[in-house]
């Protein structure tokens, strides 16, 4: 149990630190947050539209619209611009809450990864490492890649997520493969 606790905590720190670095200093997600000189005009227009906080797909049909109305909207707008807009009425620069939640999520994910990996006995070093990479790739394919597939999201928007999936879970997998396979000294238990 001690191995699981220490393995999970250190694994979560590894994933968390990689995420922090990839979003800040390394710039892995630079293609995801592009700049436009029209940002003040766009924000002013959005603010004057009295939107609630949320994510909007533009264009879209009103709630309760029929399939015919939906199909008509698609036909009318084929080949025209569209957008996803995530809108918040107030910018909150506080990072404590998101960072705590992010670490807790990483911890839960590493605990789940360990529980999956050790079912039926402890796999080899390569089994643990490749299992961790598989979990990272699985999460990428299920999340960001499927968004790209369904909504034609540009590759530049999601490529950072693939890098994160492979690097973060690869580093975590290396740690777990070393730590979980490390012999236990019975006198220290």
* Domain membership flag for residue 63: no
User: Is 115's pLDDT higher than 90?
Assistant: yes
* Domain membership flag for residue 122: yes
Tell me the pLDDT band of 92, cut-offs 50, 70 and 90: confident
Which of 73-82, 93-102, 123-132, 177-186 is least confident? Answer: 177-186
Q: What are phi and psi of 153, to 5 degrees?
A: -65, 135
Residue 119 DSSP symbol: T
* Domain membership flag for residue 47: no
Which domain covers residue 8, as residue numbers? 2-33+94-182
More confident residue, 149 or 88: 88
Q: What is the rounded CA–CA span in Å between residue 4 and residue 160?
A: 29
Q: pTM score, two decimals?
A: 0.81
Which 3 state secondary structure label does DSSP give 33? coil
- Give the per-residue pLDDT at 109: 94
* Domain membership flag for residue 171: yes
- Give the per-residue pLDDT at 186: 52
User: Is 173's pLDDT higher than 80?
Assistant: yes
pLDDT tens, residue by residue, 135-153? 999 999 998 888 777 777 8
* Domain membership flag for residue 52: no
Q: Are 181 and 128 in contact (CB under 8 A)?
A: yes
Q: Residue 56 forms beta bridges with which residues?
A: 85
Mean pLDDT of the chain: 91
Residue 144 DSSP symbol: I
Q: Return the percentage of the chain with pLDDT > 90, whole number.
A: 69
Structural domain total, the chain:
1
More confident residue, 145 or 5: 5
User: Is 90's pLDDT higher than 80?
Assistant: yes
* Domain membership flag for residue 56: no
């Amino acid at each position: 149990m001690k191995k699981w606790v220490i393995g999970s905590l250190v694994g979560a720190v590894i994933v968390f630190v990689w995420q922090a670095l990839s979003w800040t200093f390394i710039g892995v997600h630079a293609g995801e947050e592009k700049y436009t000189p029209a940002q003040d005009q766009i924000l002013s227009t959005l603010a004057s539209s009295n939107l609630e906080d949320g994510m909007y797909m533009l264009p879209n049909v009103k709630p309760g619209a029929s399939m015919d109305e939906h199909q008509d909207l698609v036909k009318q707008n084929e080949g025209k611009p569209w957008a996803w807009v995530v809108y918040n009425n107030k910018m909150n620069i506080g990072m404590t809450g998101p960072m705590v939640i992010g670490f807790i999520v990483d911890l839960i994910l590493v605990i789940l990864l360990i529980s999956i990996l050790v079912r039926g006995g402890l796999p080899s070093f390569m089994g643990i490492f490749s299992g961790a990479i598989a979990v990272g790739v699985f999460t990428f394919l299920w999340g960001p890649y499927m968004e790209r597939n369904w909504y034609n999201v540009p590759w530049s928007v999601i490529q950072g997520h693939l890098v994160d999936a492979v690097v973060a879970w690869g580093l975590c997998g290396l740690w777990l493969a070393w730590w979980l396979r490390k012999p236990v000294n019975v006198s220290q238990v």
